[in-house]
Structure 1
Amino acid sequence: MNRISIQLLSLVCFMAIFSCQPKETNTADGWTELFNGEDLKGWKILGGEAEFKIENGEVVGYAKANTPNTFLVTEQEYGDFILELDLKIEDLSSNSGVMARGQYDPAGKDGQGLVFGYQIEADPTERAWSGGLYDEARRGWLYPLDLNPAAKSAFKMGEWNSYRIEAIGKEIKTWVNGQEVAYLVDDMDAKGFIGLQVHSIDKPEDEGNKTYFKNVRVQTENLTPTPFTGDIFVVNTGLNELTAFEESKGWKLLFNGQNSEGWKSANKETFPEKGWHIKDGILMVENADGGESSNFGDIVTTDKYSAFDLAFDFKFTEGANSGLKYFVTLNEQTSGSAIGLEYQILDDENHPDAKMGIEGNRTLASLYDLIKADKQPRFVKGPGEWNKGRVVVYPDNKVEHYLNGVKVVEYVRGSEEYKKLVAISKYKIWENFGEAPEGHILLQDHGNEVHFKNIKIKELK
């Protein structure tokens, strides 16, 4: 082979390799276009059998019946990046999403292969959780849009929607059409592929409906995080830590993970000498006889609070009963637990209290003995798993309970409806129950082992 032939062969090989990579455009601003507008080189299909095509320079995914979720994913993996793309959905059946640091297990699903990991939702339904964060085929919803209801209106059905996703370090932030949507702090995956989803469909008549993608580009160097300007709730899966953003918005830890600072017994000025333990950043009350505050006693915050946003993680053992109470004054005379409005913590499947009360108003996340939590089983973590609780008390006395990011209770303290519920409850013997202007936060000892962490609060003005 002569020298010219060798040079030509080398050039052909180089061009073949280069053509398989995503096409780069203006590298001066650090962006790489992930589609060349002509074919799907640099991408592959995983998970299902839906079809992806290039039409008019756009990627079009076609829904297909009798196949699981299908993902068009990059052959290249990415660690820290900023991703921008435009997405359009033409039918309500065409739920979609964008994988960020996606993962793949070829042995998953009995050898059929399993795509899992962070997914930024595209939800055209009335639920409107577009831009929220879902952990595909693993932990489920991490950031439902009940945590940021103002962003539910950002997504436009049948129109192009601009997505921006920043995955930098442990933080993932999302925008839809310029609207700040989700803020997650999580270290489960540090790198993975970028993917576009065509969701599975339930009805054969929905086959062929299209989901469109275009202007998909990524930036991986010299990344500068875009600060959120709004007061966005942060889901932080770290251990007893706050981001600088949270601190700037007024959040503080109620439990520092190291000692009992800020807490005391409900019936004395010191922390319980036994029964309550702090180890490896976890606050735990040990198992006893199942009695209500008859063993080690409840603990309360040394400070009192009026209007606030309170978030906490909790884990219960099988058959356990406990609770988080608020507006606890410690003035009521009681032989059991101190009196206050209670976010119920309960193993609904294995504790008899779930079947007592009225119409389920003693079940997990309910306003105990007053209002049943409206929750779906998919948003409940069972014994041995961590749940995320949240109680928001607004200055106008509106109160909300959340379980794993989903709002499950809403009421107004002191309203006529509230007073009627109190009048038929165990609390009717206490005048103006739950209407104090301020009170302690309480963690209950109900004689069962329960764990707490990541207890944080923000006072609302």
Structure 2
Amino acid sequence: MTIKKLYPICFILLLSLTSQTCGNESPTVEEDAWVSLFDGESLDGWKTVMGKANFEIIDGEIVGTAVYGTPNTFLITEESYEDFILEFELKINHISSNSGAMIRGQYDEAARDGQGLVYGYQIEADPTERAWSGGLYDEARRGWLYPLDLNPQAKSAFNMGEWNTYRIEAIGNEIKSWINGQEVAYVVDDMDSKGYIGLQVHAIYDEAHAGEKTYFRNIRIQTENLKPKAFEGNVYVVNTGYNTLTDYEKENGWKLLFDGESSEGWKGAYRADFPDKGWHTKDGILMVEASDGSESMSFGDIVTKDKFSTFDLSFDFNFSEGANSGVKYFVTLSEGNKGSAIGLEYQILDDKKHPDAKNGRDGNRTLASLYDLKTADKQERFVKKPGEWNQGRIVVYPDNTVQHYLNGVKVLEYVRGSEDYRKLVSMSKYKVWENFGEAEEGHILLQDHGDEVKFKNIKIKELK
């Protein structure tokens, strides 16, 4: 009887002692590492630059109000940051209120005739139907580095009219983002290693949207003893460097088809060895020289020694002015034809200078199109100029759905062997080949079309 009465008393005392002990302890290492960038009462440590939108503090929140007739406005930290983990909450109520956070941002005070220019990495807040929130945009410089076409599952992470928790890691040359716990973007890039943190109120183009507000709160940062948070899902990685894979990519089945130093894994399309002239590997680049502009008659195409059936293939390409080339897939080398080997082709072309852009049907021979079959639906602003690096991607799923991407944006989709696909073939130059493009497996091919074209970051993941 005595024991029964004492037991709850002891339990309560134990809870009390535990509570007191925990309350007197220092915060955990994780919590202790955070430094607040906003005290809820003042904008000390911040300054407004570039545009004339208004930032004020209301109820412990930073509220940015859109102003018509002014460019993008940024509230930036006076301090610069190198490696860090940043967290904050953001809320948008209106579709016009595009926003985001600059990370390692840059500011040129003298630019635009002394009006200043903000540029650099920005993690997006996109309230439009496009839904690219959490993607990485290179403000006033290279444009989109990570559009969310590369991670469509993350398009639903951002909630309009609600507080959204952002987490951004910028450690070394890796930048990763999360929204509300959802893994969003993963970029490897070394353009900027240090810069400010900035909050954006975007320019508006309709005077009726003046006064719309963007809200920020709970802004905090870690800069020491950083512990990166691993991505657990299967998120596509954009790497702007040269021929390397992250450990994360390796763990997810990616491998390089070009090691940056040799022609290992490649051979001439109709020969047992690699071409002895015309094709070179130098400074991390695999390139074909310019010749006479003819199709595969000077140095010949090259193909992978291995064959592939379902896969995710990425490649960076850089074409000279007026150039023509292509990346082909499901190449069997069984047709015995002259010229370039037969296969489905991701077209590489200078649309502005090469005459083939006007041939075919409805532009189906233009850049990123399925050559002579299906036209790439692309916007000019997502196309890099001759001499700049473009990122191509071809995904072939087990159900025979195929997608082409250009610089992270999906530009076409079709299904191999479908009725629609066979109709396209019947209207093309490929109608003479039986079951064209429907082989179970084939080589990957890089085309020699007589023009200088460079490749790097050729990587593949086999899908199952």
TM-score by length of structure 1 reads 0.94
Counterpart of 1:342?
A: 345
Counterpart of 2:3?
A: none
Deviations 1:232-287 (A, max 9, x none): 00001111000000000010000011110000000100000100011101111001
Deviations 1:194-229 (A, max 9, x none): 000000000111111000000111111110100000
Deviation of the 1:333 alpha carbon: 2.5
- 1:159 matched to 2:162? The reply is yes
Distance of 1:205 and 1:401 partners within structure 2: 38
Among 233, 240, 243, the residue aligned to 2:243: 240
- 1:400 matched to 2:403? The reply is yes
Counterpart of 2:78?
A: 75
Distance of 2:113 and 2:290 partners within structure 1: 39
- 1:369 matched to 2:372? The reply is yes
- 1:89 matched to 2:92? The reply is yes
Counterpart of 1:130?
A: 133
- 1:422 matched to 2:425? The reply is yes
Counterpart of 1:319?
A: 322
- 1:271 matched to 2:266? The reply is no
Counterpart of 1:213?
A: 216
Distance of 2:339 and 2:105 partners within structure 1: 50
SS at match of 1:67: coil
Distance of 1:424 and 1:50 partners within structure 2: 54
Deviations 1:36-79 (A, max 9, x none): 11111110011111000000000000001111100001111111
Deviation of the 1:175 alpha carbon: 0.3
Counterpart of 2:16?
A: none
Give unpaired runs (5+ residues) of structure 2: 1-26
Distance of 2:109 and 2:214 partners within structure 1: 26
SS at match of 2:134: coil
Cα RMSD for the two superposed structures: 1.0
SS at match of 2:398: coil
Counterpart of 2:54?
A: 51
Deviation of the 1:29 alpha carbon: 1.8
Distance of 2:320 and 2:193 partners within structure 1: 31
Deviations 1:260-317 (A, max 9, x none): 0000000100000100011101111001111001100000000000000000000000
- 1:179 matched to 2:182? The reply is yes
Distance of 1:81 and 1:208 partners within structure 2: 33
SS at match of 1:312: strand
Distance of 1:405 and 1:56 partners within structure 2: 40
Q: State the aligned residue count.
A: 437
Counterpart of 2:457?
A: 454
Letter matched to residue 404 of structure 1? N
Contact kept in structure 2, 1:26 and 1:32, CA below 8 Å: no
Distance of 1:267 and 1:410 partners within structure 2: 30
Counterpart of 2:39?
A: 36
- 1:379 matched to 2:374? The reply is no
Deviation of the 1:111 alpha carbon: 2.4
Counterpart of 2:227?
A: 224
Which has the larger displacement, 100-109 or 383-392? 100-109
Distance of 1:26 and 1:378 partners within structure 2: 47
Letter matched to residue 238 of structure 1? G
Give unpaired runs (5+ residues) of structure 1: 1-24
Deviations 1:349-386 (A, max 9, x none): 00000000000000000000000000000000011110
Distance of 1:323 and 1:192 partners within structure 2: 39
Distance of 2:279 and 2:115 partners within structure 1: 47
Counterpart of 2:264?
A: 261
Deviation of the 1:110 alpha carbon: 2.8
- 1:410 matched to 2:420? The reply is no
Deviation of the 1:26 alpha carbon: 9.2
Distance of 1:257 and 1:83 partners within structure 2: 34
SS at match of 1:93: coil
Among 422, 436, 444, the residue aligned to 2:447: 444
Consecutive aligned runs of 4 or more in structure 1 exceeding 6 Å deviation: none
